[in-house]
Amino acid sequence: MNRKQKKMLMRIIAAALLMIVLHFMPVTGLLRFILYLVPYFVIGYDILIKAAKGIKNRQVFDECFLMAVATIGAIALALTSDGDYTEAIAVMLFYQIGEWFQSYAVGKSRRNISELMDIRPDYANLEVDGRLEQTDPDEIEIGSIIVVQPGEKVPLDGVIVEGNSTLNTSALTGESLPREAKCGDEIISGCINMTGVLKIETTKEFEESTVSKILDLVENASSRKSKSEHFISKFARYYTPAVCYAAVALAVLPPLVRMLALGLAPAWGVWIYRALTFLVISCPCALVISIPLSFFAGIGGASHEGILVKGSNYLETLAQTRYVVFDKTGTLTEGVFEVSGIHHSTMEREKLLEYAALAESASSHPISRSLQHAHGKELDRSRVRDVQEISGNGVIAKVDGHTVAAGNDKLMKRLNIPHLDCHEVGTIIHLAVDGAYAGHIVIADRIKPHAKDAVSALKSAGIEKTIMLTGDRRSIAERVAQTLGLDEVHSELLPADKVELVETLLKAKPGKAKLAFVGDGINDAPVLSRADIGIAMGAMGSDAAIEAADVVLMDDDPMKIAKAIKISRKCLRIVYENIWFAIGIKLICLFLGAIGLANMWLAIFADVGVMVIAVLNAIRALFVRHL
Amino acid sequence: MKKTYKIEVDCANCANKMELATKNTAGVKDAVVNFMTLKMKVEFEEGADPKTVMPEVLANCRKVEDDCEIFF
């Protein structure tokens, strides 16, 4: 509780006590009126002042004005009739309790959510003359050496120059498994160092570091308002004045009709009381507070799971997603090529691999790297001479004096060497040594461990169609699609084809169903921004993805796509629940008030009670761990 | 030019009203008030000086919501 809230609580308690005391005091007439004014002013003086200022500034239709008119009216009615002032004071008292609760709940959830996102490092340890000095991360220049001790947050992005440790990345990725880090590894800010002391050479300034970017993104997320939020602020703008005019009409018209047309007593008191009840019901706070709070809680909860949503509007779109388009490499597959088989080798398999690795050693192509990786030993480049690269075919080189040709079937045809086709799917490297066929090596991209589960999770979350796009060959693409159970696959696409294809899909789908594109953000930025919603995966440290995508998944796990959709659905469900609940109850109470079935007490429930329930419901959006 | 300011306001509806009031201030191109983070993002028009515009913004906000505060 802050100072303001404490003061308000004291006023609420004081006013409540005064009312109880007054209830048992047998005073009547003017003295009673004056005594009852004491708790009224104790609890409501600020509302009255605000209402007066509002009138002065020509901002009549606000809640304070409504409450002031309603309570003063109720007191005036009590003065002329039965002298029961409790109702007027109770209205003010409960209104203030509601306001107090709202400010307390919002403050509390604001703190909760910021705690969830508490990844901001407070200091960095700079080594100065052999001693550690705590410095503001903002002041550290690129290339400085900082020390991160066990238990501390990594304050800036950098490269480890000394030490080994395990890192807890859960604040960034939602992944609870710790990650190993050793000398030479890149490290990103926001991780928590768990075991060893690390010395890090910084590669980015604080402002450019991952942690600042993420914080900036999440903090600005709720500024991008969703359609429901726009609807609510518009609704509030027209609703309050409309209810005020309706209240005036309710106070004036029926008595006039009774008097002039029906010849009955006007019963001013009854109708004014009904009009006042109307005013109390009319406050739009329940809606105005709970909708942004739901979105804020949803975004906060998602970010704790390693899913960054860049705005409330994207949360809304995500909830309507029916089509999910994947890029293959890096999204459904690891994007890391591995030797998956060596066939028909005429020599020892190790030997064949060595020849292939040596022949390809001059190239930095991923294929060459995976060959070297599979070979596993240090390569002696001096054994290779006369490397001749034949673009689109492969290489021919002299290794230990033997002529080694390594490449695809085109190379074999070119050299007129009969080769054996492979039944396995992947990239095939045929080898010929001294003009004789020596076998082939299969290199394939590995499917991510959770990819299959992720696709079926999407299906059970109600996604109608899953589509895969890839630049890879048809046979590979179809094999992957079949293994994962995808509905549609388009292969051998250039980046520009992907944009075109997504555009065709966007045109073909029904207007309400949204299309999400999931990519790794490295070369699919145009598609990410073209789709209704772009989701970038494995974005830890990739600036391009954070820029281009609307939703950023911090780790590589495709399961998070279904989770993100579920979180958005839960959040939106809460938003709609609150809209229908709040508007529904208010309309019912307004109707009951107009026909005289609702008294002030019900009106207070319609205002404060609905608000409290809506706020509590909104906070539910924060709990998304087990979705 | 865009600038972000910390604000203090009690209710969400008041924050909406502040946003509208800020948008209608001369020299302000666009404004977003974020009640949840208690921040206000103001985009100024070309050539407008935040130092002269912001007191105007505060005055206009005070008109719609008496006890709001903008820290600039």
What does the block give as tokens for A374? 């599979």
Q: A28-32, A101-105, A455-459: which has the highest mean pLDDT?
A: A455-459
Average pLDDT over residues A516-535: 83
Which residues does chain A have within 8 Å of residue B32's beta carbon, measured at their own beta carbons?
223, 225
Give the gap in angstroms from C-alpha B29 to the nearest C-alpha of chain A: 16
Instruction: Describe the crossing of helices A63-80 and A268-281 by its angle, rounded to 10 degrees.
Output: 150
In this predicted structure, the answer to whether residue A207 has a pLDDT above a threshold of 70 is yes
Confidence grade of residue A542 (pLDDT, cut at 50, 70, 90): low
Q: Which of B:23-62 have CB within 8 Å of A?
A: 32, 34-39, 41
Residue A363 has a pLDDT of: 74
The verdict on A36 touching B (C-beta cutoff 8 Å) is: no
Which residues does chain A have within 8 Å of residue B11's beta carbon, measured at their own beta carbons?
63, 99, 102-103, 285, 288-289
**A325-341 exposure pattern, b = at least 16 Cβ within 10 A, e = fewer:** bbbbbbbbbbbebebbe
What are the helix (H) ranges across A305-460?
Answer: 312-319, 349-359, 366-375, 409-414, 451-460
In this predicted structure, the answer to whether residue A61 has a pLDDT above a threshold of 70 is no
Residue A515 has a pLDDT of: 93
Contact: B64, A59; criterion CB under 8 Å: yes
- Cβ proximity of A426 and A338 under 8 Å: no
With a pLDDT cut of 90, the percent of chain A lying above it is: 11
Average pLDDT over residues A116-140: 80
The verdict on A57 touching B (C-beta cutoff 8 Å) is: yes
pLDDT digits (tens, 9 = 90+) for B50-70: 888 899 999 888 888 777 888
* CATH label of the domain that carries residue B28: 3.30.70.100
CATH match for A343-446 among 3.40.50.980, 1.10.3720.10, 3.40.1110.10, 3.90.1010.10: 3.40.1110.10
Search chain A and give the residue with CA nearest B40. A223
Q: A225-239, A314-328, A582-596: which has the highest mean pLDDT?
A: A314-328
Domain range spanning residue B44? Answer: 2-71
Give the gap in angstroms from C-alpha B11 to the nearest C-alpha of chain A: 7
Neighbour tally for A566: CB within 10 Å: 18
In this predicted structure, the answer to whether residue A521 has a pLDDT above a threshold of 70 is no
What does the block give as tokens for A465? 């169609």
Residue A593 CA to residue A70 CA, distance in Å, equals 13
In this predicted structure, the answer to whether residue A227 has a pLDDT above a threshold of 90 is no
Confidence grade of residue A290 (pLDDT, cut at 50, 70, 90): confident
**A503-538 exposure pattern, b = at least 16 Cβ within 10 A, e = fewer:** eebbeebeeeebbbbbbbbbebbebbebbbbbbbbb
Search chain B and give the residue with CA nearest A294. B36
What is the residue-averaged pLDDT of chain A?
84
CA A482 remoteness from chain centre: 31
Contact: B36, A288; criterion CB under 8 Å: no
**Interface test with chain A among B30, B60, B66, by most A beta carbons within 10 Å:** B66
Residue A569 has a pLDDT of: 94
In this predicted structure, the answer to whether residue A69 has a pLDDT above a threshold of 90 is no
CATH class entry, domain A272-332+448-627: alpha beta
The verdict on A311 touching B (C-beta cutoff 8 Å) is: no
Set A327, A472, A524, A557: catalytic member: A327
Residue/partner pairs of A120-124 with CB below 8 Å, 24 or more apart: A120/A211, A120/A215, A121/A152, A121/A153, A121/A154, A121/A155, A121/A156, A121/A189, A121/A190, A121/A211, A122/A153, A123/A155, A124/A155, A124/A156
Dihedral (CA of A29, A33, A38, A43) sign: positive
Show me where the domains of chain A are located: 1-116, 124-220, 272-332+448-627, 343-446
Confidence grade of residue A457 (pLDDT, cut at 50, 70, 90): very high
Give the single-character DSSP code of A422: -
Q: Which residue has the higher pLDDT, A61 or A120?
A: A120
In this predicted structure, the answer to whether residue A261 has a pLDDT above a threshold of 70 is yes
Q: Which residue has the higher pLDDT, A523 or A475?
A: A475
In this predicted structure, the answer to whether residue A541 has a pLDDT above a threshold of 60 is no
Search chain A and give the residue with CA nearest B65. A54
Confidence grade of residue B6 (pLDDT, cut at 50, 70, 90): confident
- Decide: helix, strand or coil at residue A462: coil
Predicted complex: ipTM over 0.85: no
- Decide: helix, strand or coil at residue A126: strand
Residue/partner pairs of A406-410 with CB below 8 Å, 24 or more apart: A406/A355, A406/A356, A406/A359, A406/A360, A406/A430, A406/A431
Q: Give the closest residue to A279 by CA, choosing from A102, A62, A491, A130.
A: A62
Residue A420 CA to residue A570 CA, distance in Å, equals 55
Q: A169-173, B36-40, B41-45: which has the highest mean pLDDT?
A: B41-45
Q: Which residue has the higher pLDDT, A152 or A82?
A: A152
CB-closest option in A219, A220, A288 to B13: A288
What does the block give as tokens for A372? 């070297």
Residue A467 has a pLDDT of: 93
Residue/partner pairs of A22-31 with CB below 8 Å, 24 or more apart: A23/A86, A28/A83
Residue A116 has a pLDDT of: 65
CB-closest option in B13, B39, B67 to A236: B13
In this predicted structure, the answer to whether residue A219 has a pLDDT above a threshold of 80 is no
Query: What's the first-to-final CA gap in chain B, in angstroms?
Result: 15
Residue A318 has a pLDDT of: 92
3-state secondary structure A146-195: EEECCCCECCCCEEEEECCEEEECHHHHCCCCCEEECCCCEECCCCEECC
In this predicted structure, the answer to whether residue A217 has a pLDDT above a threshold of 80 is no
Q: Which residue has the higher pLDDT, A178 or A159?
A: A159
pLDDT digits (tens, 9 = 90+) for A556-577: 788 899 999 999 999 999 999 9
Number of Cβ pairs closer than 8 Å across A and B?
Answer: 58
Question: How many residues comprise chain A?
Answer: 627
The verdict on A44 touching B (C-beta cutoff 8 Å) is: no
Which residues does chain A have within 8 Å of residue B39's beta carbon, measured at their own beta carbons?
219
In this predicted structure, the answer to whether residue A536 has a pLDDT above a threshold of 80 is yes
- Cβ proximity of A394 and A429 under 8 Å: yes
Confidence grade of residue A529 (pLDDT, cut at 50, 70, 90): confident
Residue A612 CA to residue A417 CA, distance in Å, equals 80
Residue A108 has a pLDDT of: 78
Number of domains in chain B: 1
| Catalytic status, residue A327 | yes
Residue B44 makes CB contacts below 8 A (sequence gap 6+) with B1, B2, B3, B27, B28, B29, B50, B53
Q: Which residue has the higher pLDDT, B7 or A223?
A: B7
Contact: B13, A284; criterion CB under 8 Å: yes
Sort strands A124-128 and A145-148 into parallel, antiparallel or unpaired: antiparallel
Fold of A124-220: 2.70.150
Residue A540 has a pLDDT of: 62
Residue A438 makes CB contacts below 8 A (sequence gap 6+) with A345, A346, A347, A352, A355, A431, A432
CB-closest option in A59, A103, A223 to B10: A103
CB-closest option in A50, A225, A289 to B12: A289
Give the single-character DSSP code of A329: B
CB-closest option in B11, B36, B63 to A285: B11
For residue A213, report the phi and psi dihedrals to the nearest 5 degrees: -60, -45
